[in-house]
Amino acid sequence: MRKFAFLVHPLDLDDVVSFEKKSAGKPVALIKKLLLWLCERPPFIGSHITGINSNTGRKAEGWFINVPLLPEQMKEHPELAKEKILEAVSFAKELGASIVGLGGFTSIATNSGLAIAKEAPLPITTGNSYTVVAAVEGTRKAARLMGIRLSKAKLAIVGATGSIGRACSEILAPQVSEIILVGRRPEVLQLQADKLKKFTNVSISMDIKKALKDADVVISASSDANAIIDANDLEPGMVVCDVAQPPDVSKSVLKERNDILVFDGGIIKIPGIRIRRKSKFDYDFKLKPDKYAYACMAETMILCLEGVNENFDLGSVKVSSAEKISKLAAKHGFKLAGFRSFGEKITRDKIKEIRRNAALKSNKKWFYRVRRMLEYSELG
């Protein structure tokens, strides 16, 4: 039996309430003090993951190990975050794990693993390579379902200078009409734009709201600790793949917009997985049933099954690494799950409804045929 561990943490206050009900309604400052107090304790297990069965016949089990800090706390206390992450990796070694995945903001807090690579007692991975694969595959499928031809579409990459955003732009550049690279560092954006301009039309932007208004398809993979995309930022008929953890898209979009397909990037169906809660200090990932997991988690499982015993693609994601993990995923029986938004399943009927609403509101030319179909009741 091969073993792995994956580091998790509360993404927001709702996650804290999910494992400590008494914190509901308490002042934010008090909740943050509670989490800092938990950091004085040794690392602890949130869940025991069993029943992972590869197509090859190999089996794996693992543990979610808690790092009890919010994303903003990791930014405020970088040395503490690094210390707790290294403690968690050491604990994973005691449990018998052969590789550790850096989940959520633990990857960002360690510069995509580079800041702890020399000190970590086990091989580590960020899970970013498989996240890129899943985001690209999901975006292609979502665009097709919404009637968008990528070859005619404008693609905005939010967080384009980050590891995931950069790799997504490199893979999709030859397939779209134009790419808008969105970020905070113009000089780095321009370097990436120069690299891509031989494949497609490229522009850069530091104004996320303007960039989104000009786009047809969005992949958002920023490293912000809070949501940066609101309901008013998006146009009817858009496809938005939110890869970020915590999410870049505000939950208000679900309530306020019925004409946009927003989905969680990187949700994977795991062969045979079972998740057993080990303590009340466990986070609800809102991925039901338990056979689903985020791509970053899945990458850790895949590398464990494959017997990889070295760090995997730390720092910037290489396209070659994304291709490698894609092949390994297929080998072991991992595949893209259906669409979800904030953990909730997006049904075929829901996508049909979104497409209808978008077709009636949007002026984009690829919705003309769908609009006419609606007028003649040809679309079920």
Tell me what the pLDDT averaged over the chain comes to.
89
Q: Tens digits of per-residue pLDDT, 32-57? A: 888 888 889 999 998 898 889 999 99
pLDDT the model gives residue 377:
43
| pLDDT band, very low/low/confident/very high, at 13 (cuts 50, 70, 90) | confident
Distance CA 273, CA 287 (A): 12
For the chain, how many structural domains are there in total? 2
Whether residues 366 and 249 share a domain: the answer is yes
- 78 within a domain of the structure (yes/no): yes
- Name the residue type at position 169: S
| pLDDT band, very low/low/confident/very high, at 281 (cuts 50, 70, 90) | very low
Whether residues 49 and 180 share a domain: the answer is no
Whether residues 78 and 95 share a domain: the answer is yes
Q: Tens digits of per-residue pLDDT, 148-169? A: 999 999 999 999 999 999 999 9
Whether residues 123 and 22 share a domain: the answer is yes
Whether residues 116 and 168 share a domain: the answer is no
Choose the weakest-confidence range: 141-150, 264-273, 322-331, 348-357.
264-273
Distance CA 371, CA 377 (A): 10
Whether residues 64 and 109 share a domain: the answer is yes
Which residues make Cβ contacts (< 8 Å) with residue 359, sequence separation at least 6? 147, 237, 367, 370, 371, 374
Distance CA 131, CA 134 (A): 5
Geometric angle at alpha carbon 119, from 78 and 302, rounded to 5°: 95
Q: Residue 277: is its pLDDT beyond 60?
A: no
Whether residues 88 and 157 share a domain: the answer is no
- 205 within a domain of the structure (yes/no): yes
Whether residues 229 and 197 share a domain: the answer is yes
- 138 within a domain of the structure (yes/no): yes
- 380 within a domain of the structure (yes/no): no
5 and 65 Cβ atoms separated by less than 8 Å:
yes
CA torsion angle 197 201 202 203 (round to 10): 140
Whether residues 260 and 279 share a domain: the answer is no
Whether residues 183 and 275 share a domain: the answer is no
Whether residues 144 and 39 share a domain: the answer is no
Whether residues 8 and 101 share a domain: the answer is yes
Q: Which domain holds residue 367?
A: 130-266+339-375
Phi, psi for 80 (deg, rounded to 5): -65, -40
Largest CA distance in the chain: 65
CA torsion angle 248 253 284 287 (round to 10): -100
HEC string of the chain equals: CEEEEEEECCCCHHHHHHHCHHHCCCCHHHHHHHHHHHCCCCCEEEEEEEEEECCCCCEEEEEEEECCCCHHHHHHCHHHHHHHHHHHHHHHHHHCCCCEEECCHHHHHCCCCCCCCCCCCCCEECCHHHHHHHHHHHHHHHHHHCCCCHHHCEEEEECCCCHHHHHHHHHHHHHCCEEEEECCCHHHHHHHHHHHCCCCEEEEECCHHHHHHHCCEEEECCCCCCCCECHHHCCCCCEEEECCCCCCECCHHHHHCCCCEEEECCEEECCCCEEEECCCCCCCCCCCCCCEEEHHHHHHHHHHHHCCCCCECCCCCCHHHHHHHHHHHHHHCCEECCCEECCEECCHHHHHHHHHHHHHHCCCHHHHHHHHHHHCCCCC
Q: Residue 285: is its pLDDT beyond 80?
A: no
| Strands of 267-269's sheet in order across | 292-294, 267-269, 335-336
pLDDT the model gives residue 290:
63
CATH assignment at residue 150? 3.40.50.720
Structure tokens at 171: 């893979």
- 326 within a domain of the structure (yes/no): yes
Q: Residue 336: is its pLDDT beyond 70?
A: yes
Q: How far from 66 is each of 19, 45, 52, 337, 373, CA to CA, in Å?
A: 11, 6, 21, 25, 51
- 311 within a domain of the structure (yes/no): yes
